[in-house]
A and B are shown apart, each in its own frame.
Chain A
Amino acid sequence: TKQEILMAHKIFSELQDRENGPYSSRVSMEKIHTLPELKSNPFRKRICHVFSTSDMKDGSLSFEDFLDLLSAFSDSATLEIKSHYAFRIFDFDDDGTLDARDLEKLVNSLTGETDDTRLTGEEMRQLISNILEESDIDKDGTVNLSEFQHVISRSPDFVSSFKIVL
């Protein structure tokens, strides 16, 4: 709605003001990450990269990108949109499929940076093979977008958890 957009713009321009140096329409990734909503998100870098339209691939966001981000994470976005973005966020090497390496990175970022919460190699291998067994329908060793959406659409609480409220 209008109010939400205005609020987003306020936040965005605040971020812009903190940006020192030449005035630009983009806000760098680091600034975006100072938002409390994204501060502790393990995927914050990925989120910025996915939504950024910058040519430099530095993850900086323009206001349109920022709005994009918020709308994808809002309540009114459909499951399809959400799962699409989720897939792109999880696709760490941007090759359009989730392969074993993507999954490993994903699991690692889910379990945190510290060593004591990390899974051991054995567990990791087991986990990834289980995931692939479940969701890799065509058995090509990767999860592609439609497989991913198929899995996600069955999940009861994806929509409720995949959102960010400013």
Chain B
Amino acid sequence: MPRHKLIASESDGKDNEFSLYYVEVEENSQGGQEKQTTRDGKRRRERNGEVSRRRASEKRTTEVDNKRAKKKHEKRHKTARKEGEKHEKRQRRKNADEEEAEEESNKDKKNIKNERTKTLKRDDEKEKDVKKKRKKHVKNEEDSANFEKTKQKDCHDMPLKEKKKKRKKPETTSESESKSESESESDSAPESKDNQAVGVLGSLTPEELEKLKEAVDERKKLIATMRGKPWPMKKKLVVLRSSCVLQRQETLLIISFLYYSNCQKWMKFQRDFENFKTACIPWEMKIKEIESHFGSSVASYFIFLRWMYGINMILFGLTFGLVMVPEALMGKPYGSIPRKTVPREEEASAMNFAVLWDFGGYAKYSVLFYGYYNSQRAIGWLKFRLPLSYFLVGVGTVAYSYMVVIRTMARNANEEGGGDDTSFNFSWKTFTSWDYLIGNPETADNKFASITTSFKEAIVEEQESRKDDNIHLTRFLRVLANFLVLCCLAGSGYLIYFVVRRSQKFALLGLESYGWWERNEVNMVMSLLGMFCPMLFDVISTLENYHPRVALQWQLGRIFALFLGNLYTFIIALMDAIQLKRAEEEIVKKNMTIWQANLYNGTVPDNSTAPPTTVHPADIPRGPCWETMVGQEFVRLIISDTMTTYITLIIGDFLRAVLVRFLNNCWCWDLEYGFPSYSEFDVSGNVLGLIFNQGMIWMGAFYAPCLPALNLLRLHVSMYLQCWAVMCCNVPQERVFKASGSNNFYMAMLLVILFLSTLPAIYTIVSIPPSFDCGPFSGKTRMFDVIQETLESDFPAWFGKVFSYASNPGLVLPFLLLLVLAIYYLQSTSKTYKRVNMELKKKLQTQNEENKKKNKLAALKAANELEQARKAGETRSSSSQHTQNSEPPVSSTHTTTRPPASRGHTSSGHLPGHPQQPQKNSHSNRR
């Protein structure tokens, strides 16, 4: 028992964390001890079981005692020790018999010596505590000397006597305490006579602790299960309290002792950490607010935007950290070599805002673009392999994007699960159509309207599915609509091609002679097409008379095709430009040699030793760097796209809202509900815009490392701008299409775009030789030569050999074949799983039907029986028989309504037929 106290005193002396550790150690060591001493321990344990409980309540008082003792008697402690040493010899005789008793147990305890040594330090501390406490109570020097002596012995053979001391300590303290008249000793007095019992008592605590721990676990479980039950809080509280009463002593003890001192700290930390994590998610509150005003579909757009932001953050980190910063810090400074200098003829206008806005001038000759990078193999004191890093980052960004998109898609697909079951169309519409997040009366009105229309549509559809009218007209109209859309697409494609070609002509003649429109023609045309064509499609799609959801998908598909077509025409035009530039490059190359020859000819006669590098790098002629041009085009495209988005947002949404709000009072019709009204937030259009923007980033990022940074900026701004615009000037759409269903649709589009945008980039990397005088790959025949170069020069020879073996077609082809086979195998297995699933579902359904029929039959029979019984009862007119007969039928009708209670509880994994089957059989048997 005193040992128990010791633990307590320890825990209030030190801080709480320490005491947990301490208790655990104690448990471990004593668990071992327990095994040894079970034989004689068991007897006592039973006796002491009840005492231990009392001890718990005492603990507090002893704790207080200990504290007091510590403070008061720290000084007295030293003098007492000296006294003890004087009396050491005298007391040795008295201790002899006690030691004999202890030696028995020592043998047992040798096994756990190792564990014991771990706690040595703590034991020492504890010892002091005990000593102090003891000294407060004890006046006679016998005991103190006795204790001191044993301590001295321990110093000689520490590990062995450690246990002995442990034994003795409690004993001595209990003796002393019994002499003093403190109230806490009243219980321990009888035990103090029995030395062994005291020792065993200590070993009892771990068991008790375990028991208490179990109790706490039970409570936790109880709480967890309670959380899963739809009870009101009151009931929960009542249950909690009742369990509390049952185990009050244990739980209170454990809570004060273990749980609240340490676990709570840990839990508090965890909780704080959770809060911190949620606080770290950017824009969470904003999105929640929007969610509560506009429902989950609008919020899904912003969540998508945030996700996109995260991806771009990583792309930006890659390009910025591994390409741009090293080049800016460690590469040759600006103006040292031709590719890093603005050419002489552009120098005059290089700082003009218009030129810079167009990413010409100084911006063109900076780390933002491909052309600035040097082809030096390793730069700076780190020997950073910049060309290699440039190439790998380009590949890595694409690979990372693929990985993320596919992983997200897979996760979404998993979450969807069996959600595509359309057998509960109407029920879902009624039970789940209300979005409880809606907190805005206007939104609520809209929601009412949309729910009504959806109901009506569903009913009409239901009716329509039974009859079909005039299929030829609708077919004709649909074909016509598709034809019109195709025309639109082709027209827009041609327009872009034409414009790009024209702009090249302008560029050849020099941009300075043209106005703003000519310079920005391409981007403006693309943006305008992107703005107006969707409206056109919308008009056309009214011809088709599709179901709204189908119509929406068609619409999305068409806009997708439009954007894609535009993008690809743009790329094809760019390819043409690249060819032109390369032809130009050839000429420049030739001129270069001539120029160099001239230079030599000019300088050699003057001074034969001086190198011909005195020419300023700005004056050296250079080829047109097609990579930089491509990068520039993409950057311009992104900028103009962003601008148009923002401008349409401000004009189309904000100004419209302002006009409608303030002109409404002095207008001849109701503007808010009439023609202009407020604009809706167009989720699908915005998502498409976002996706295409991302596609352009992926395409252009290789040639303009600054693109991810720009995109990050754009996304950041549009997050705030759109949040604001949505909150202040939009009304939610009438036709809400559900967020969860469309999520993977977006993802699929993103994947397609990713694939399509990596194609041209890969094509240019693989098939077009890089420019000879700019960029990290200048001087090589192909860009990927950088890998080969690295392999040859940076890795040992055997590695290159292995690589060449591994990359020869004889190995690669079988590997590819293997991959294809694996894919095929996996796909076929998943297909079979699906089929099995479907079959199971069918089985369940048929079983359901059968059950229903059986139930019906049973109910009918029961009703008949009831009737018969009643008739019989009437004829006999005996009330007692009447009740007897009518009893079974009543119960049978009851069961007919009961069966479903056992099914359909959770997801789809239940077996509806089984639970009620035996019931029914027994039922029919009974009858």
Contacts and interface: CB of A to CB of B under 8 A. Distances in A.
B809 to A, nearest CB: 47
Contact of B438 (A40, A64, A139, A153): A40
A103 B436 CA distance: 18
Contacts of B346: none
A112 B852 CA distance: 36
Nearest to A40: B444
A81 B741 CA distance: 23
B765 to A, nearest CB: 42
A146 B904 CA distance: 6
B439 interface: yes
A111 B452 contact: yes
B459 A123 contact: yes
Given A39-B441, A157-B432, A162-B432, A130 B426 contact: yes
A117 B687 CA distance: 31
Interface string A38-57: 11111100000001010000
B444 A119 contact: no
Contact of B228 (A41, A43, A81): A81
Nearest to A143: B427
A81 B908 contact: no
Given A64-B233, A137-B900, A154 B424 contact: yes
Contact of A161 (B288, B437, B855): B437
A138 B855 contact: yes
A68 B233 contact: yes
Interface in A61-85: 64-65, 67-68, 72-73, 78-81, 84-85
Given A53-B232, A80-B230, A137-B848, A158 B431 contact: yes
Interface string A123-166: 10011001101110111100011111111111111101111110
A36 interface: yes
A137 B852 contact: yes
B448 A36 contact: no
B744 to A, nearest CB: 11
Contacts of B432: 152, 155, 157-158, 161-162
B237 interface: yes
B90 to A, nearest CB: 62
B419 A156 contact: yes
Contact of A139 (B443, B451, B455, B856): B856
A145 B900 CA distance: 9
Interface string A105-122: 011001110100111000
A145 B904 CA distance: 9
A157 B742 CA distance: 11
A47 B455 CA distance: 24
B337 interface: no
Given A37-B292, A117-B452, A149-B905, A155 B899 contact: no
B902 A146 contact: yes
Contacts of B462: 126, 130
Give the interface residue-count category, chain A.
Answer: 35 or more
Contacts of A126: 459, 462-463
Contacts of A84: 230
A150 B897 contact: no
Contact of B232 (A41, A51, A133): A51
Contacts of A92: none
Contacts of A138: 852, 855, 896-897, 899-900
Contacts of B382: none
A18 interface: no
Contact of B288 (A72, A81, A133, A165): A165
The B interface is mostly helix, strand or loop, or mixed, namely: helix
A27 interface: no
Nearest to A111: B452
The A interface is mostly helix, strand or loop, or mixed, namely: helix
A79 B907 CA distance: 9
A68 B253 CA distance: 30
A43 B447 CA distance: 14
Contact of B292 (A118, A131, A158, A165): A165
B434 A153 contact: no
B418 interface: yes
B296 A155 contact: no
Contact of A163 (B424, B436, B908): B436
Contacts of A42: 434, 444, 448
A78 B440 CA distance: 26
Given A119-B452, A135-B424, A147 B904 contact: yes
Given A68-B233, A165-B288, A110 B228 contact: no
Given A43-B434, A151-B424, A157-B296, A123 B855 contact: no
A160 B296 contact: yes
Contacts of B430: 103, 106-107, 110, 127, 131
Contacts of A117: 448-449, 452
A158 B275 CA distance: 26
B433 interface: yes
B230 A72 contact: yes
A37 B292 CA distance: 8
Interface in A6-50: 36-43
A84 B40 CA distance: 56
B508 interface: no
A64 B456 contact: no
A157 B740 contact: yes
Contacts of A154: 418-419, 421, 424, 428, 908
Contacts of A106: 430
B83 interface: no
B416 interface: yes
Interface string B893-927: 00011011111111110001000000000000000
A78 B452 contact: no
Contacts of A111: 448, 451-452, 455
B53 interface: no
B462 to A, nearest CB: 7
A36 B292 CA distance: 10
Given A111-B455, A117-B449, A138-B896, A160 B444 contact: no
A33 B904 CA distance: 34
A104 to B, nearest CB: 10
Nearest to A51: B232
Given A39-B441, A73-B436, A165 B291 contact: yes
B271 interface: yes
B524 to A, nearest CB: 40
A155 B431 contact: yes
Interface in B272-294: 274-275, 288, 291-292
B481 interface: no
14 contacts: A3-B275, A53-B233, A65-B233, A79-B906, A90-B431, A107-B455, A131-B426, A135-B424, A150-B903, A151-B904, A155-B431, A155-B432, A156-B419, A160-B296
Which 10 A/B pairs are nearest by Cβ-Cβ distance?
A150-B904, A112-B448, A40-B444, A156-B419, A64-B233, A84-B230, A135-B427, A158-B432, A130-B426, A111-B452
